[in-house]
Structure 1
Amino acid sequence: MGKHQEHRILKNPRSIQKKNVKPSKGALIITSTDKFFIESRKEALTVSIILGAIFLLSGLWIIYPFVDFFTSDDFHWTMLFLLLYPFIGLLMLIKGVFKPKKHTNLSFDRLNGIISYPATFFGKPLEGPFNELKVVFAVSGAIDGYSPQEYLKVVNTFRPKKLDLLKTISYENPQEEWSLYVWYMDKNRPLPPGDAFDKYRLQDFERRKAEGFPRPLYPSNIPTPEATKEQQEEREKIGGW
């Protein structure tokens, strides 16, 4: 497992556009406001695929020495139970590949600092303080000439008594994705880039102004100025940053 990432804005994040937010056709972003940001994610039934492949291959390996018995006089009907193992594996594999993918939500509550994300396998989503969330940038190995790829994975943070499993929450650029989430969940900073947030920027600015422009919750490698020059001047005068 890689090193847990610091809660820090690493680089310019992915920009959230209105065209990618519902009710736009095909959009997987459900909500994008100054209070909540919710993404709907398609999840392949990877558990079913992996277990199905294991059952199928190991089942074929088990029955291989007995292949001749199925066509010999020594065959007994109980031998059919040997076929059950690879058959179950085949069914699980077919289910994982062809069954419609389920949708699970990755939810961010900006003002209360709460994140909710899908469990690794089954069960209710995991929920807890964003500042306690542990994530890693996991790297896949290079296969057949393909370059290794990084994924943003969340550690089983809010179920400490369970196995320390990893859950992939982004197959995109992990630094950009993590920067987006950290920036959004820093309620003392202006909203992240993207026209999906534009109609909420003034409202968010006024909230932070009423609070005296408290300093950011998380550090940043890049500037995070206000939407306008005038607003930036107000923040510097009142908040000092």
Structure 2
Amino acid sequence: MPGSRHADGRLDSRPTASPAGPPWPAGMHELDLGGGAEVLLAVPNGEPRPRPLLVFFHGAGGEPRQSIGAVGAAAAERGVLVLAPRSGAATWDLVAGRLGRDVAVLDAALAEVGRHAAVSRCAVGGFSDGASYALSLGPANGDLFDAVLAFSPGFAHPPAAIGRPRIRITHGTDDRVLPVDRCGRRLAAAFDGSGHEVTYEEFDGGHVVRPGDVVASLGWWLDAG
């Protein structure tokens, strides 16, 4: 059951560079968390070593394989682990009204990853409702996530402010689902005003995740400093 910290949007698990259990081989792994939770982990090719971990949230009505399809190829090229959970309802718990279940599932998934995969750093991202969720959980867990990659977000309601993760937002100027003027532009200005380092980019297009933007966002995250 979700604990009080999960209702506050806080994550306790901290994957490290020294997992306790045997390493998972390259490929797609379905985590066995029980309770009907569906979470996938994509492990890149190569010998086990500490790798960056990207948590990626799908859009409303989506599922983990869509998340892997959106970012998996570019992540694999950069040697990034991708953790893709599924929302417990049609969309994420915060969007539906209250934090809890989805935060608890993510916390359990991160703990499982930490037992079998060496992790060097963590970021969180997502598309549409998933991007809104990332922009809400990321700033509440800035002691875990050093960056947020948001593709076409609609809103952000961080339940807390822990640290200052860097934020990158991309949004299509022809987005008819979440219009850029009251979503991407407004969010970029709000996070900039609250002291976050914000990179904001618009593109000619609609409500989509473009492969080139994924490559650019991963580079922005991984190559910083």
Q: TM-score, normalization: structure 1?
A: 0.26
* Larger relative contact order (Cα-Cα within 8 Å, sequence gap ≥ 6): 1
Larger helix proportion of the pair: 1
Q: TM-score, normalization: structure 2?
A: 0.27
